[in-house]
Homo-oligomer: A and B are copies of this chain.
């Protein structure tokens, strides 16, 4: 490591000021959009010309050190390998990029300790704000950040106490569409592979499932609901296996998201069952590439990219005006009927 060497910037503000024959303070004001109103037009021109000929580029580190703004924001997600997140992350990044911000990305793996270390690294680097998809319903990390006054926007998942701005999908509506669809097809007993109840998505979809079923006059046998520990294929397999192991299995399974649905697919296939011939399966999220699986999965589409875009928009708003009221935006989902569901009267043996 080169030590003791602090190479100076090729050309600094002082060089520009000298070349333009003004004081560095004046050069600074001339170069800054917010203060250039304070300086005479001819002076501005002279400074700009000097800056251009010298190829001056401000040292952003010096500026940030002074102003405490870095024009960088952190994006924290569980795992970019989950296909749900790339489009959301793109949404956030694209909006940030538009405003000259840069994005730090990190994956928590839903590990609170890792999340804490990630938060620390970002806060220590003085990110201006944070966009988070990792919130648990009760999240001490998020609470701490809030108390520190770090601007935050949650996306996809939300916290239980509604004191943090967020952008998510209207899961209650989405689930109701699923239940109505299945019920209209004639399904009486619908099983549910529920997501983790420590997360708003898992919990909201589960409770919406119970209410929606009740609304259609169906009662949910508690044994027809199995709770996954994580939103993963492996957990989907475990839960689906439990459901299929019952003496009389439900004629349909609503999975808490597409990853869990993929797990259901594997188990159903391994059990030698046909889908939707023997059992119908529905997912949630309409994540990228899920439209390529076989049989085509009926699921609920949520606007991934827009969700990210909006989350960034909200954060940018708070950065401009910290006093902005707390918003919890919910985006409308849409049922996408594909091949994994069928009327029960078409079922083999039904």
Contact = CB atoms under 8 A, between A and B. Distances in A.
Interface of A: 1-3, 6-7, 34, 57-62, 64-68, 70, 72, 75, 79-81, 83, 85-87, 89-90, 93, 97, 100, 102-107, 118, 121-122, 124-126, 262, 288-289, 292-294, 320, 322
Of all A-B residue pairs in the complex, the 3 with the closest CB atoms, nearest first, are: A294-B294, A105-B105, A80-B86
A83 to B, nearest CB: 7
Contacts of A102: 104, 106, 121-122, 125
A307 B60 CA distance: 32
Contact of A65 (B61, B97, B125): B61
B86 A81 contact: yes
A320 to B, nearest CB: 7
Contacts of A107: 90, 93
Nearest to A81: B86
A6 B66 contact: yes
Most B CB contacts (10 A, CB to CB) among A62, A70, A90, A105 go to: A105
A89 B77 CA distance: 13
Contacts of A6: 66-68
A190 to B, nearest CB: 24
A269 to B, nearest CB: 11
17 contacts: A57-B124, A60-B124, A61-B65, A61-B68, A61-B70, A61-B126, A80-B80, A89-B105, A90-B107, A93-B106, A97-B106, A100-B121, A102-B106, A103-B105, A103-B106, A289-B292, A293-B294
Given A60-B125, A262-B292, A292-B262, A81 B72 contact: no
Given A102-B104, A320-B1, A81 B70 contact: no
A104 B70 CA distance: 13
B97 A90 contact: no
A33 to B, nearest CB: 12
Contact of A81 (B3, B67, B90, B292): B90
